């Protein structure tokens, strides 16, 4: 056995492949069991075109990023009209008039005659089934373009990658990670920052089982829809039949939609650290079933937007019997520091967890180090 291990490691070094260029750990929660590219030999794209090809093809792949892939300018620029519905100050985002959005939804907003933005950011790269996209150390950066997991794609892992600088001045200039009509997706130790619109979006189609863990959702920006340095368009979960585990993430310097939950989405938000939100974190709209436990809210004006129709269970200790029955563990209290609080004790939504893979939960006091360990380059 020792000889076999030696031969395997020696072969890896001989071929230029690092034995460390593989997925670390395993997904918890709803996407437990995802394997991505599995044991496929790693590939190391050198150009943006090669990266696009590896992601989209039909072969199982472990795709290792060893540098920054800068898509800025690769598809040219677009000049169009827009509007300024959030004000004309220099720290306000401007909206691109995509599909006549300005005319349909903001007809009274000041018009912007000329907007120039990067075309590559608008539509992300397509990822096919059975893929692992991983960064090597702190080198795996994708600049100016996101990714799309759509059209029944499944069994995909994105780990230790940073997505950044996707037309951040403008709304409708592109999302970082889009999932729509997919299943068994694990996003882990990913950093997103300076994004035009959504950092992570689950669209209207059913996206099955998704786990988002140990990510750094960084909303600090010079351009915002709330004009205050806090990004409004954080995460958007509105699928028609989605199971989403959101665990161990650092979600900070946002001002809304952190996340927005609607459609028919079951969300287990556990052991996340929410920090410096200037307006509200959660939006639980019609169709949302949200269980939130063991989270920290620090300097968050509102932990949840009030008056929405979503169903909530915010894990009060008095209902531990129901937690044990459906979640398989004792409920963990949420913690608040200079923050608004979650409310909601709808135990009916706990039945949605029955028979599913449910992530474990630690006391909020045990997760104070999340800002130091979440995101790319920290695994």
DSSP code per residue over 335-378: EEESS-----B-GGGGGGGTTS-------GGGGTTHHHH-STT-
Handedness of CA 308, 313, 315, 319 (dihedral sign): positive
Helices (H) and strands (E) in the chain, counts: 5, 29
* Cβ-based neighbours of 91, under 8 Å, separated by 6 or more: 222, 223, 224, 227, 228, 229
Rounded to whole angstroms, how far apart are CA atoms 282 and 262?
11
At residue 271, φ and ψ (nearest 5 deg) are 60, 40
DSSP code per residue over 254-272: B-S-TTEE-SSEEEEEES-
DSSP code per residue over 78-120: EEEEEE-TT-SSTTB-EEE-GGGHHHHH-TTSPEEEEEEEEGG
Torsion angle, CA of 353/360/132/203, rounded to 10 degrees? 40
197 catalytic per annotation: no
Q: Which of 61, 148, 209, 257 is catalytic?
A: 257
Reduced to 3 states, what is the DSSP secondary structure of residue 171? strand
**Burial level of 343, CB count in 10 A (0-12/13-18/19+)?**
exposed
Q: Point out the residues that are catalytic.
A: 257
């Amino acid at each position: 056995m020792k000889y076999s291990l030696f031969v395997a490691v020696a072969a890896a070094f001989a071929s230029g492949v690092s034995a460390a260029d593989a997925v670390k750990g395993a997904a918890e929660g709803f996407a437990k069991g995802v394997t991505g590219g599995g044991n496929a030999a790693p590939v190391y794209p050198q150009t943006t075109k090669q990266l696009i090809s590896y992601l989209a093809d039909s072969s199982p792949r472990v795709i290792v990023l060893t540098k920054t892939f800068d898509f800025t300018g690769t598809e040219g620029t677009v000049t169009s009209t827009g509007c300024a519905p959030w004000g004309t100050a220099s720290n306000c985002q401007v909206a691109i008039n995509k599909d006549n959005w300005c005319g349909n939804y903001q007809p009274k907003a000041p018009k912007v005659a000329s907007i120039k933005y990067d075309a590559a950011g608008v539509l992300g790269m397509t990822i096919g089934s059975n893929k692992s996209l991983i960064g090597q150390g702190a080198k795996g950066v994708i600049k100016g373009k996101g990714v799309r997991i759509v059209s029944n794609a499944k069994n995909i892992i994105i780990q230790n990658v940073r997505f950044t600088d996707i037309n951040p001045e403008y709304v409708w200039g592109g999302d970082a990670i889009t999932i729509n009509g997919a299943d068994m997706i694990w996003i882990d130790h990913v950093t997103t920052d300076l994004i035009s619109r959504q950092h992570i979006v689950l669209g209207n189609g059913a996206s099955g089982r998704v786990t988002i863990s140990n990510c750094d959702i960084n909303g600090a920006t010079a351009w915002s829809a709330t004009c205050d340095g806090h990004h409004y368009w954080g995460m958007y979960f509105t699928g028609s039949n989605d199971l989403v585990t959101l665990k161990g993430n650092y979600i900070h310097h946002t001002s809304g939609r952190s996340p927005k939950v609607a459609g028919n989405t079951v969300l287990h938000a556990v052991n996340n650290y929410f920090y410096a939100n200037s307006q509200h974190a959660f939006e639980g709209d019609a169709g949302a079933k949200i269980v939130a436990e063991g989270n920290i809210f620090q300097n968050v004006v509102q932990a949840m937007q009030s008056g929405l129709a979503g169903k909530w269970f915010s894990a009060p200790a008095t209902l531990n019997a129901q937690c044990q029955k459906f979640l398989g563990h004792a409920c963990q209290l949420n913690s608040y520091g200079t923050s608004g609080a979650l409310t909601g004790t709808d135990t009916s939504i706990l039945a949605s967890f029955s028979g599913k893979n449910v992530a474990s939960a630690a006391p909020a006091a045990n997760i104070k180090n999340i800002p130091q360990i979440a995101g790319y380059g920290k695994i």
